Chain A
């Protein structure tokens, strides 16, 4: 095999061959590449949106729960979690079951009723840990001193296009609702605010202040769960160790990704779909190159005969077609990567897609780029090799004169 001559012929073919064909080929390669990167990146973006949603509204980074034998976390060190370097904040919740009733005309008839998760928050602590305060769509967020006020999700209130509208109470800010706690205590609260996240589960939650909850449950300085927010996502294991060393020996401490359960299952399904679509994209790119090189080989049948008559080996002839195919692939990758990085990605970053799971933009990672590069080059190699090999296998006289 004479590599130098193979390169020489390949580049003359590209330079002096039909420009229209060359542009079409490169366009197709570019589209094939953009398709590969785009599909993986959009799925990556969806998974990230799901995760971000869970971190922002549901779990923060770390969740501390009581040991299975205890009802509440009762730990003097609760206040010290905040002081671990890198921890942005921590927020203790009480969790209770509630039956909520709304009597629209205050006449004891047509009472709407439902069961929702009830949590308490310290509004100031919570602000450092979740983004619920940012998700208020009507009314306002709770204040520390509020006792007869309640913050409810849009699935509870209704009227904001929730998924479970038919179960909602149909209340607005200012309406008064009756809450019956698990211990039987019943209190009347005024709806202070309504919030909307992208999580149906979250929007089925209601919040009262910690102060109010403690007076109902007759407890103090305990918690059903503590959420811990750290500066960066990814270092949770280290923080869990730090929290344990503060004295949380028997508590159940988990990071957000362990708590995702169903949704992380969903994200692995997305990974699967993304891989399947990637494989299909690669195969399509490979077949496209195959066809392009096949047509080129058919058109160059006579030239192959000439090259062989001169004494060029089959290997060099195949190599010269493969180099062309790899060149098309490489140019497709360069233009495609530039298109993704400088046009498509910036566009999606400033115009993210409104998905049910959150705001989705492209997550173009080095891994996605690397995999796509390898896939397209492998497709070019294989798609270029087979037609060239077949063409070069013909006898000289057949190639020369059919």
Chain B
């Protein structure tokens, strides 16, 4: 068991409080490729953010690799994200002032690798996602599909325990989307990468091991 979620609740406070997650319980096994599906506003992103330590739940428990992470301090969470997690967002979330290579080796730099190591590792992973000839390009010099592959390379470079992806193909054309999804499937198969991916595309089901449906902040069926 890599992730275990118990009675997870998330309420967004505000003018009108929103119960985005009502009582979520779920388990993800190591090496699983899971899709989170559901209508817009059903709480998919919210759930992903809680699992990925990008936000703090209102109540409930999240156990990753046996560690209860909800009580982590800000610093511990940052360290955990750096060492154990990877993210791919719908809008790529690349730093505009960094080249593909720099974006990818940034996490390794933070982890304290030396220059030779981080350049070699980042280059090799960019080659694996098919961007061996785009190492020194800035985001603005790349297509959406290429940018998303840079983001994937960055998410994978620290060999994360879990890769989180929130609608990674929503901004891409069908062709580029297929490239990304096949890449995920391959990573999952070849190195046993655990992946949790939010998608609203029913077709994407064929790439994943399991689909979790959310409706109004509640899990529907397994």
B-binding residues in A (CB < 8 A): 2, 4-5, 8-9, 12-13, 15-17, 302-303, 305-314, 316, 395-397, 400
Contact = CB atoms under 8 A, between A and B. Distances in A.
B82 interface: yes
Interface stretch (B21-29, B95-103, B189-197, B206-214): B95-103
11 contacts: A306-B94, A309-B87, A310-B81, A310-B110, A311-B85, A312-B82, A316-B110, A396-B54, A397-B49, A397-B55, A400-B54
Contacts of A17: 97
B74 interface: yes
A206 to B, nearest CB: 76
A312 B109 CA distance: 10
Contacts of A15: 97
Given A9-B97, A311-B79, 15 more contacts: A2-B109, A5-B106, A5-B109, A8-B109, A16-B97, A303-B96, A306-B95, A309-B87, A310-B154, A311-B81, A311-B107, A311-B110, A314-B78, A396-B54, A400-B89
Q: What are the 8 closest A-B residue pairs judged by CB atoms, nearest first?
A: A311-B82, A311-B81, A16-B97, A306-B93, A5-B109, A12-B97, A396-B54, A313-B78
Contacts of B107: 310-311
Contacts of B94: 306
B44 to A, nearest CB: 14
A316 B110 CA distance: 10
Contacts of B204: none
B110 A309 contact: no
A312 B55 contact: no
Contacts of A9: 95, 97, 106
A309 B95 contact: no
Nearest to A395: B55
A401 to B, nearest CB: 9
A9 B99 CA distance: 12
A205 to B, nearest CB: 71
B106 A310 contact: yes
Contacts of B85: 311
B78 A308 contact: yes
A396 B110 contact: no
Contacts of A396: 54-55
Contacts of A307: 95
Given A2-B110, A5-B106, A309 B54 contact: yes
B15 interface: no
A309 B95 CA distance: 12
A376 B110 CA distance: 30
A12 B83 contact: no
Contacts of B49: 397
A4 to B, nearest CB: 7
Given A396-B55, A397-B55, A312 B78 contact: yes
A2 B85 CA distance: 19
Contacts of A312: 78, 82, 110
Contact of B83 (A311, A314, A316): A311
Contacts of A302: 93
B75 interface: yes
B13 to A, nearest CB: 13
